[in-house]
Amino acid sequence: MSWTLLTSGAAVLKAGTHANSTIKVSGAALVQYADAAEGRIEAQTRRSWVDNYSSLSTGIKNILSDVAASIVAMDIVAYDNTGYLAREADMIMNKCDERINAGLSILKDFKSNQLQTP
């Protein structure tokens, strides 16, 4: 599954400037976070997004990326939040949580046959 729905750069960017420098470059840890995020999205939406990724519209790919990167960003922040400024880690976690919940809500209700050409 690794890195189908997101890039490590997107997740690190969402984790903020003060994210732990060790975890930001740890390929092994980040791939575990990414695989878990992709699995969580598929489990919660009951759709096989990874297997059908190439056939998805750009808009849906962007939502999947935003949700997956936000999940991984939360894992990065949770790994070590000591480098963040006061309340910065909380603010990042809250913003990521908003993105995750909104994105999963859209993906759960997604019906491809209802997409319309503007």
pLDDT digits (tens, 9 = 90+) for 19-37: 999 999 999 999 999 999 9
Indicate the pTM of the whole model: 0.93
Q: Give residue 17's pLDDT.
A: 96
Q: Give residue 110's pLDDT.
A: 81
Q: Give residue 118's pLDDT.
A: 66
Domain coordinates in residue numbering, the chain: 8-109
Q: List the chain residues with pLDDT less than 70.
A: 1, 112-118
Q: Give residue 2's pLDDT.
A: 78
Long-range contacts of 73-77 (CB under 8 A, 24+ apart): 73/11, 73/12, 73/13, 73/14, 73/15, 73/16, 74/100, 75/33, 75/36, 75/37, 76/11, 76/12, 76/15, 76/19, 76/20, 76/23, 76/24, 76/30, 76/33, 77/15, 77/16, 77/19
